[in-house]
Structures are given as C-alpha cells and as structure tokens.
Structure 1
Amino acid sequence: MSTKMSAFWSTPPGQNAQSQQILNQARNLGMTSAISMAMPKPLDLQKTIELNEALIPHGVSETDEELNHRMEVLRKVNELAKEWIKEVSVQKNMPTSAADHVGGKIYTFGSYRLGVHNKGADIDALCVAPRHVDRVDYFTSFVDLLKKQPEVTELRAVEEAFVPVIKMNFDGIELDMLFARLALKEIPDNMDLKDDMLLKNLDPKCVRSLNGCRVTDEILRLVPNIDNFRLALRAIKLWAKKHGIYSNVLGYLGGVSWAMLVARTCQLYPNAAAATLVQKFFLVFSKWEWPQPVLLKPPDNVNLNYPVWDPRVNVSDRYHLMPIITPAYPQQNSTFNVSCSTRAVMQEEFRQGFNMTEEIMTGKATWDKLFEPPNFFVKYKHFIVLIASSSSVEDQLEWVGLVESKIRHLILALERNDHITLAHINPEQYDPVQPEPDTISTMWFIGLVFKKTESLNIDLTQDIQAFTAQVHRQAATAKTVKDGRRIDAKHVRRKQLSSYLPPNFLRTKRLGGMSLSTSTGSLSNGSGTSPAGTFAQPRKRPSDAALDAVMMKKVRTRETADGTRNLEVRSSSIFVVMPHLLPANSGAPSDMILS
C-alpha cells in the first residue's frame, strides 16, 4: 500500500509497534487479561494462507488501482469541502486572509477506515467544519456546490435523519457523508478526533456524527495486531453476510458490531494468526452468556452530560438482549435492535460456525464450506412474505428504506404472539417472479416456528395489519406518502412459495436433523426433525423474569474489607470481577453486569 493510500485508513499513531512491544502491551488490552498468549504454529499459518486464498473469489479486497481511485475521490471531496468552508467564511464577513486558514477536513470511518471494505463498497465519511459553519450551510450551499460537479450523480440530502447525511455517487464511488462542526475557530489537517473535550458544547447530531470516526479509530487502537484483525474481520463479515445475519436495521449486527466482536477476540488471543482468530471468535461467542455485554475497554470517566449506556442508571438498558458497547465516549449499545429471534438465529450460527472451523482446522473441511450460504427457504413450513411496491424506481428506493426500517417492529410483535416461538427475518431482498405491470416490487421473507399444538389454526391478521398501519403512519409523518406506494403482508406455507420465488430457491437438501433446544430458541443436533440447518419446534421463550433469574445464578457478590460489594461473573471461560458500589446490606443485584 502506498504512503498516500494509507493516510485515510492506516494504523493510527502509536500502533506501528514492534513485536516485542505488542507482546508487552497485549495483556493490558480489553476488560480482562488474555486467555492465551500462544504464538502461531506452522499449521495456524498454513490455515491463514488458505483463508486468505478462500476470500479472493468473494471480492473482499480491491486492486491497487481501485484503492488509488478511492483515494483520488477522497482527495477531490476534501478539496471541495475546504473550498466550500472558505466561501462560507467569506460570506459571513470573515477577512479573506483569515478564511484561507480556517481549514476543514474529510475523515473516513466504518469499513473503509478499518481497511476491510469490499470491492465496490461505499465509503462512510465525515465533513468537519469550524464553529461558524453550520448544518444549514452544509445542506444548502455545500449541496449546491456538489450539484455543479460533473463527477457527482445520485445526490440525495437526508437532513431529517437521526444522523443527517448527504448520499452521492462521486466518480463511481458511493459516499455517505455526515457533518459535524466543532467549537473551534480552525480545523487543522492534523486534528485527532480522539480528544473527548472536542465534544464539549456540541449538539447531539454533531456528537453522533463524530462518534462514527471516534469509535472506528478506538477499535484500531485497541487491537494488538491490526493485520490479523483485518483478515479475521474480512472472513467474519463475509460469513455473516452469506448466512443472512448482517443487518443492523433488521435486528442482526452491523459492521461496527462485528468489528467489535472480532476486536474482543483479538484481545483475548493477541498473538494468534487470523485463521486461529476466526476459530476462537466462534468459540468465544458460541459460549458467551448474553445479555452480559461485550466491552473493549472500561467505560471512560468523562461527564459531558451526553447519554451513555449504563444499565445501573438507565432502566431501558437492562432489557438489551445482546449488548456490544462502543469504546468511545459517549458509549452506546450498537445492537439495541436485536430481538429474541434474531439473537437465537445468531447464536445458532455461532455454534455451527465453531463446529465448521473445528473441521477446517483439523483438515476435514475447507474454508469454502464456511462461506456456503444456507437455504433459508427449506428451514420453515410457514412464512410471512412482505411486499413493498411503488410506481417508479426512484419512489421504490425511498419506500423500501422506510419499510425495511420498520420490519423489526413486526418481528417484535410476532414474538409477543403466544403461538409463535421464532420469527426469522431473511435480510435478502427479492424481486417477484411475476411482476405487475408498471409496478416495482421488493419482497422480504420471515420464517415462522409455531408452538406445537394439537390443532394449529393461527390467525396473524392483527399482527400484520398493525405493522402495515405503522408503516403508513410513519410515511405520513415523514411526508413521504405518494400514489402507487403500498405494503402487502401475507402468511403463506412453504408449498405456496413457488408463487413468489423461482424453483432454484426452493430445492431441499436433506443432510440430518436440527432441533431447537435452548430457552432462546437456538438450534442443536436432534433426531426426528427437519432438514439440516432448519429450525424445528423450540421450547417456549421464558419470561424476562425467568431470564433474569437464570442470569442471577451466574452472579454472586463478595464484600471486601472496605465494604465495597464486588460482582463476580463468569463469561465463557473468562472470570471477571467488576467493582460496583452497592449498599453493603443490599440483596441480590439486579443491575446488568459489565463484563
């Protein structure tokens, strides 16, 4: 990689440590000491070479030419941002001599900054401006400047989003660009966004925009070997996408969450080769005792009055099912969308991934097998098909985004249905087999597992109608109601899927039985059940109180000489002691445990 190319997603300052420094520091990374400091064996290195080769056909990396093109695009956008900030400064009566030095900069974050973006992936970017340039300027005069650029197409300003963003295609590269203004007169090119005091006196939208960069950079600072981290993360991301569990909006994990899980694995096995890290990833998280949270470091002792994830203070945080906490202040749970069903699906995928990597490391299988997508449509006998339709391609893009953002609410409603034990949403979007004339349609499928009853006669009309009504209310609130837009939802059996999908999606391949056996509805080997990889009838999901009771059996308090109560927790094979200042005479703690 060229020096120029490394500027946007190179190792942060101080991370180019020599091997001995890594060995000395590795024990101190993370919430606990490392599980193993073992160095790679020849077999581990060979399996890592094989892993790297197995990833190549999947387009997980770009050529030097493609990487250089991205760098050139970012250089041009950076120059445009500086030009725009200077023009705005002059328009606001700043002397030209001063405007020449106010600066401004484009930062990158997400998969590109981590160095794990796929071929053709978009770039997450952040425009940082000085205090006299505001968000109104960004969504007016900067958008106007972009419209004049011949390289810019598909320009969309989404000002009302939770994190306001400008989306565009710049010379063939998709860009999602956020905005933040700092309480500073100038933005120098060498500014490091790590300083927590930069957040002081900022509005919440700027804080959220900055946090993308701050979290990404902190992840890179907290892993002992960035090259091993990157290769392992590329593999895990590909596996998650192939297995249909890569989607934050639908209740699975998004890119930053997967990155944090891999980073935690790297902390626990700091000297392991990438192939070993992939195997240990599945080992650790197939045994992780959710809802104990995953943290990469102790929470920062900073108080700028921004809300942070803390179940001791925020009651709602105690109900998060699979918390993975961002390492930069203000700490947030990156997985608050996870539901009982999506967690159950991911837990089973972790278990199957561990079994598969055990076979790979012992020579019984190759890495290609790990990346084989399962057939979702042979897993269930019942489905809900969701169909979002519009009269034009432009309308459909916006409509699909709105509908998809609400699907997780339907999943939650289905989970509350006493007759349903699992609602498995497939993130893949499908085109209809027989499209309607002058209509653009997109389909999603939800696999259902019903509770075993002697006579199964389930009416899902109320759940479905409530969901469609919610989508239309949201469209009305967002003022996006347009003629031709509609959402249909139907309960269908597997044999009816041929009306919606081509035959190749419906072929079955019987290899063995799987059955749901745990309280979360996850899968394990069983007999007399459905095809391999399918969800058979799970046990009924226990109440929250029952789950809390199970969790409390894994937690005990110990009083120290000074009267401090410590909570002792077992998480996988890692023993954690976290001090919580509990009253000496209090009963069993009900707080969620930071582990």
Structure 2
Amino acid sequence: MRGGGCFAGFCFFVLWSLWYFIFSPSTPRLQNQPPRHYGITSAISLAPPTDIDSIHTQKLLEAMKALGVFEEEEELNHRLVVLGRLNHLVKEWISELGESKNLPPSVVANGGGKIFTFGSYRLGVHTKGADIDVACVAPRHVERSDFFQSFFEKLKRQEEIKKLRAVEDAYVPVVKFEFDGIEIDLVFARLSVPTVADNLDLRDNSCLRSLDIRCIRSLNGCRVTDEILHLVPNKENFRLTLRAVKLWAKRRGIYSNVLGFLGGVSCAVLVARTCQLYPNALASTLVNKFFLVFSEWEWPRPVLLKQQEESNLNLPVWDPRVNPSDRYHVMPIITPAYPQQNSTYNVSTSTRAVMVEEFRHGLAVTNEILQGKSDWSKLFEPLDFFQKYKHYIVLTASASTKEHHLEWIGLVESKIRVLVGNLERNEFISIAHVKPQSFPGSRELCKQSGYVSMWFLGIVFRKVENAESVNVDLTCVIQSFKDTVYSQANYLSVLKEGMKIEAAHVKRKHLHHFLPAETLQKRKKQSMPGTSQNAGGLQRKRTSSDGSCLDSSRDTGSRTPDNSSLLHKISKVDTSTAGRERLAP
C-alpha cells in the first residue's frame, strides 16, 4: 500500500509539472501565442493611443457634456434605488404567488426570481430622463397570466407607481409605468427551472430550453446586450463612442428603427465592431474610424460581431442561405446572441442611402476635427432637413379625440416605411427621406380635423434625359399606403370615427404654411466644402404626442392660408427641369 501511494504521488507530480509547463505565463509557448482578437477577423490596427488622442477624447467628452448627455450622480443613484425596490417587489410577488398556489415551503423559499436590465441602461449609455428596459425572470411555477394579473395588481397598489398600463398583445408583451419618476418598460420571461438564482447567466443558451416564443423575445434584449459587452475589448471606450454615435444619429435625423434608420441595438453593434477592429483606440479615434469603416462598407454584406453559432434548439435565425426573405435585407446588422436576428430589417434603399451619406459627412467632419480645423460641436449640428430638398410629401394623421389620436399616430408611424417602400418602387423617385420627428398640426388643420400630427418626407426625383418636364402620378402610391393602414386598423379593431390620413405634395417654398419660421430657418453657418447643404440649425424640440395645435401663422409675416386647400389628394407632380414643379390638376 505504501509503495502504491508513492507511485500515485509521483504520477500527480508529473501531471502537475506538465500542466505548469503548458499553461504557466512564464513559458515560451504561451508568450509566443498571438494576442486574442475580437470579432470574426483580426484587428485593422493595434496602435496604442497617443497624447493627442487623449486630448481629442477629452474635448469630445466636454462637447457631449455641454449638450446635456450625461446624468448627474444623484440621478444615477436614484435609478439604482428604484431598481432595487422593483427587484424586491418581484421577489416578494413570486414568494406570495407560490404560497397562494400551495407549493411546498422549500419551493416557495428557494424559488427566487429577479430583474435584469438591458438596452441603453445596461450598456451604460442612457441619457437624462431615459426609460429603463427591464426583464422580470421567474421560475416555472409563475405563468405569464400571473404577471399580467396578480403582479399588475401589486404594482397598482404601490404609491410610487404612476401611469401603469399593460400591452399584452405587443410583439414583446410589456408593462409600462413610472416608478418614482423613472419610466420603466417591464417584460416577462418564465424559465423552465424551479429556481432562478441571483447569479443566473442569461448568456447561456440552455436558459432558452422549453420556452415559448414570447419568453424568448423577452430574454433577447438582455442576451444581446450582455453579449455585446462581452465582445468589446474595452468597455469604457466602447461606451463613450456609443454615446457619441447615438447623439450624432439623433441630431442628424437617422435614429429611428421603426422608420428604417438606426436603432439602439444597431448603433451598439456597429460601434462594437469598430472597437473590435481598433481594440486599443480611444473614443475620439473610434468615432472617426466608425465613419471610415461604414462609409466604405460593402452593403448588403452583414455586420457580425462573431461567427453565427448553431444550436439544437432549432429557433429561426437570420440566414440568407436558408431564408429567402433575408436575401432582400439591404443593410443587415446582426445581433450576436442566439437566435441571431437582423436589427435593421426595416431599412430600405432610401434610408440606407441617407445613412451612407451621413456616414460620409461624419467622416469629413471628424477628419477636420482630428486635424484641428474644427471642433466636436460641428459633428452634432442637426440636419437642415427643410432646406435639403425641393419636394416634400406632408403626411397627416388626425383623430377627433386625444385618446384616439395617440392610438392612431402610433399605428400610422409604424407603417410609414410602407409608404417609403411604395415611393421607392416608382421609377421616377430615387430618394424618399422621412424625418423621424413628427409635428403638431396648425390651428387651421386642427379646427377641421381635431387632433393632428404631421410627418414630412423629402423626395428626390430622377432626372429624365431629353425631357424638360415629366408628370409623376403618385395617386396609386398614396392610396395603396392609406389602404394598408386602414386595413391594419380594421384588423386590430382600433379604427374609430374621425381617424383620417391625408397626404400632399408640397414644394420647399410652401412649407411655411405648415410649420413655424424657427423650424424652417436656414443655418447661417455654411456647410463644409464638397458636401451637400445639410447641416441643420438647432431647432426647438417639438412633439405631437398629444396632437396640440400650432399657430403656424405667427412668425410667417403674413396671413397663412387655409391649409386644407393644400392637403388634397396627390395626383401628378410636374418635375420640370426649369423649376416649374407643380401639382397637376
């Protein structure tokens, strides 16, 4: 026995020595291994930052602070307190629910359950006043109906909770509320496990087993967010760069997933890919490289943060080799967590063209900044949308009551991309650019239609060789869009009396009939040489969430005519090369 013990000890020593030789940091083998690279390719540059890079990054930070991007420490702490209280409510509710279902005391005591944040807050890039996306994750004895019934009632009893409402029929069912001044969007996922531990890692694909599709969708936000953070080389550099890119996208009018522009997830994936390609760069360099990479990107080549993984869960993933519909996506930006999806499936050829133009403009501006010829405030100058185009389509949605109006504009806005697609298919139209911001109707419109919201689409007509004038008939395009919206409203049983959609072609010089002068005024500062005149002036943020009317005549210097006369059905647009554009009778 003594000899056997010595032999076993000798074997252990040999194995330990072999392990140490292979894995010890001091061994030549490990030192000769190449450094880890992030993403599906090696980095473009591993250059470390210079002193001037640090100076540019500090100036970028100061420019963003001046625009009120960052929350104060007190606000950040308040969010933590609110999330802590919400997490306590979830645990308390799950425990009470277990008792009401007569579960064994051990199950009630160990059931767990917790909340996970995702989106901009989890990424660390939320702005002042932003809402928090939260997922409530519960064990298997908690049903979805329990969440929308007993937990909803529990929330209703909390004095700090206001504006509580449930949206059960949404693509991702959600409960929305304001908790002590903080807006919360709370989704629900029920795992097929008896206990939800506090150290649960949602990145593990096994947590998706035996879940219904709504739970998978609810978990997707958390899984994507965590995977993005896992795949970037330096989280702080990533966060500051993402803040800058999101601010730029909003100011330049290309931040709206529903309208076919960039959303929060797509911005995060693009910035994360830039960080992977320049892993040691600071934010000032990364912002510039972001524009360099994606102004030259060969769309529709997809943007991926890692190789798409396979799984035996058989969930639908983005794969143009298998799914014919995926082959028509013009700007695929793929989420990194299984099941991988295209975060920009709403992008059209027009919105992609607008974004690529903005990428190029951003590259020119940041090149100037890094050369010391300009400062960071220039990057965040708003787009001068109402000076950019000669032709516009004004789309109005109206309803007779405030409540009907809020419901109606949500549906109409979600379908504007259908109108853009219809316009793109017209052989005489090259660009249909919708401004993401909506505007309240003028007093004249509101007198006739009640609560009114307006959207504006800039239109670029193709030049036709050997033709002085071409009549473009848009009647069918507009009518097809209206039919789509009304059909969807009927299907959802939300169409009420007084809900209407109208559209009109308007030339730039007539926009003052719809909008006040301060919204339309042209920037005094000239654009950069070699770029289009599209650097917009600072304009007061306006919203049509309540359909409140505007007095559009107050700053025009003349009496505004009845807007209803301009809002007749589109028939033909004369795109004369001599500037005689008009609406044909």
Alignment TM class, shorter chain as reference: 0.7 to 0.9
Secondary structure at the counterpart of residue 195 of structure 2: coil
Residue equivalent to 2:424 = 415
**For residue 501 of structure 2, what is the aligned residue in structure 1?**
487
Q: SS of the counterpart of 1:475?
A: helix
Provide the C-alpha distance between the structure 2 equivalents of 1:247 and 1:153, rounded to a whole number of angstroms: 27
Summarize the alignment of residues 50-199 of structure 1 with structure 2, pairs less than 5 Å apart. 50-199=59-208
Q: Please state if 1:304 is matched with 2:313.
A: yes
1:265-276 → structure 2 map (5 Å cutoff): 265-276=274-285
Structure 1: unaligned runs, 5 residues or longer:
1-20, 515-523, 538-595
Partner of 1:476: 490
Distance 1:147 1:315, change over 3 A: same
Q: Deviations over 1:329-375 (max 9, x none)?
A: 11111111100000000000000000000000010000000000021
The within-5 A match list for 1:389-408 is 389-408=398-417
Distance in 1 of aligned mates of 2:184 and 2:340: 26
Query: Match for 1:291 among 300, 305, 311?
Result: 300
Deviates more, 1:311-320 or 1:327-336: 311-320
Following the alignment from structure 1 to structure 2, what is the Cα–Cα distance between the partners of residues 429 and 338?
Answer: 19
SS of the residue 1:488 aligns to: strand
Mapping 1:359-398, distance limit 5 Å: 359-398=368-407
1:503 paired with 2:517, answer: yes
Greater mean deviation of Cα atoms: 406-415 or 501-510: 501-510
Find the aligned partners of 2:67 and 2:452 in 1 and give their Cα distance. 28
Q: 1:146: Cα distance to partner?
A: 1.3
C-alpha deviation, 1:190, in angstroms:
1.2
Q: Read off the aligned partner of 1:475 and give its amino acid letter.
A: A
Letter in 2 for 1:31: I
Question: Partners of 1:395 and 1:142 in 2: how far apart?
Answer: 28
For normalisation by structure 1, the TM-score amounts to 0.81
Letter in 2 for 1:440: Y
Q: Which amino acid aligns with 2:136?
A: C
Question: How far apart are 1:140 and its partner, in Å?
Answer: 1.4
Equivalent residue in structure 2 for 1:35, among 34, 40, 44: 44
Task: Give the SS at the match of 1:428.
Answer: coil
CA distance in 1, matches of 2:498, 2:100: 44
Which residue identity does 2:359 align to in structure 1? F
Verify the 8 A CA contact 2:233 2:279 in the aligned structure 1: yes
Deviation at residue 25 of structure 1 after TM alignment? 8.6
Partner Cα separation in structure 2 for residue 273 and residue 142 of structure 1: 45
Contact kept? 2:111, 2:195, Cα under 8 Å:
yes
CA contact (8 A) 2:433 2:458 kept: yes
Which of 244, 255, 272 aligns to 2:253? It is 244
TM-score norm. by structure 2 comes to 0.83
**Is the contact made by 1:124 and 1:175 (CA closer than 8 Å) also made in structure 2?**
yes
Are the counterparts in 1 of residues 385 and 534 from structure 2 also a CA contact under 8 Å? no
Q: CA deviation at 1:90?
A: 2.0
> Structure 2: which 5+ runs fail to align?
1-29, 537-574, 576-585
* Kept after mapping to 2: 8 A contact 1:421/1:451: yes
Task: Identify the range of structure 1 (457-466 vs 402-411) with the bigger mean alpha-carbon deviation.
Answer: 457-466
- Cα distance between partner residues in 2 of 1:184 and 1:211: 18
**Superposition deviation, residue 511 in structure 1:** 7.7
| 2:55 matched residue in structure 1 | 46
Counterparts of 1:313 and 1:420, CA distance in 2: 32
Selected match of 1:200 from 209, 215, 219: 209
Amino acid at match of 2:227: E
**Which residue in the other structure is 1:232 paired with?**
241
Residue 441 (structure 1) aligned with residue 452 (structure 2): yes
Matched, 1:333 2:347: no
* CA separation of 1:25 and 1:374: change in aligned 2, threshold 3 A: farther
In 1, the alpha carbon distance for the partners of 2:138 and 2:214 equals 14
For residues 523 and 123 of structure 2, the distance between their equivalents in structure 1, rounded to whole angstroms, comes to 38
3-state DSSP of counterpart to 1:153: strand
How many matched pairs?
Answer: 502
Q: Is the 8 A contact 1:510 1:532 kept in 2?
A: no
Counterpart code for 1:43: I
Q: Aligned equivalents of 2:350 and 2:395: distance in 1?
A: 18
Which residue matches 1:450? 461
Question: Is contact 2:441-2:451 (8 Å) kept?
Answer: no
- Whether the aligned pair in 2 keeps the contact of 1:379 and 1:533 (CA below 8 Å) is no
Question: Counterparts of 1:324 and 1:97 in 2: how far apart (Å)?
Answer: 45
Structure 1 counterpart SS, 2:110:
coil
Correspondence list, 1:571-586, <5 A? none
Question: 1:504 offset after TM fit, Å?
Answer: 2.0
Residues 390-425 of structure 1, C-alpha deviations (whole Å, 9 max, x = no match)? 233333222221111111011001101111111001
Change (3 A) 1:532 1:141: closer
Q: Would the aligned equivalents of 2:438 and 2:455 in 1 still touch at CA under 8 Å? A: yes
What CA distance in whole angstroms lies between the structure 1 residues aligned with 2:84 and 2:77? 10
Alignment partner, residue 329 of structure 2: 320
Cα distance change of structure 1 residues 419 and 202 upon mapping to structure 2, 3 Å threshold: same
Measured in 2, the distance between the counterparts of 1:339 and 1:27 equals 36
Identity of aligned residues (%): 59
Task: Identify the range of structure 1 (395-404 vs 279-288) with the bigger mean alpha-carbon deviation.
Answer: 395-404
Deviations 1:280-314 (A, max 9, x none): 00110111100000000111132211001111111
**Cα distance in 1, alignment partners of residues 46 and 121 from structure 2:** 29
Using the TM superposition, give the Cα deviation of residue 57 of structure 1 relative to its aligned residue in structure 2, in angstroms. 2.1
Contact 2:107-2:194 at 8 Å conserved across structures: no
Q: Is the 1:229–1:274 Cα contact (8 Å) retained in structure 2?
A: yes
Helix, strand or coil at the partner of 1:185? coil
The superposition leaves residues 42-77 of structure 1 with CA deviations (integer Å, 9 ceiling, x where unpaired) of 110000000000001222211111011111111111
> Which amino acid in 2 is paired with 1:441?
V
| Inter-partner Cα distance in structure 2 for 1:145 and 1:397 | 27
Deviation digits for residues 58-105 of structure 1, max 9, x if unmatched? Answer: 222111110111111111111111122122222222134431221111
Structure 2 partner of 1:9: none
The 1:30–1:498 alpha-carbon spacing in structure 2 relative to 1, beyond 3 Å, is same
Structure possessing the higher radius of gyration over alpha carbons: 2
Q: Deviations over 1:420-460 (max 9, x none)?
A: 11100110111123251482221110000112242132221
Contact 1:511 1:531 in 2 (8 A): no
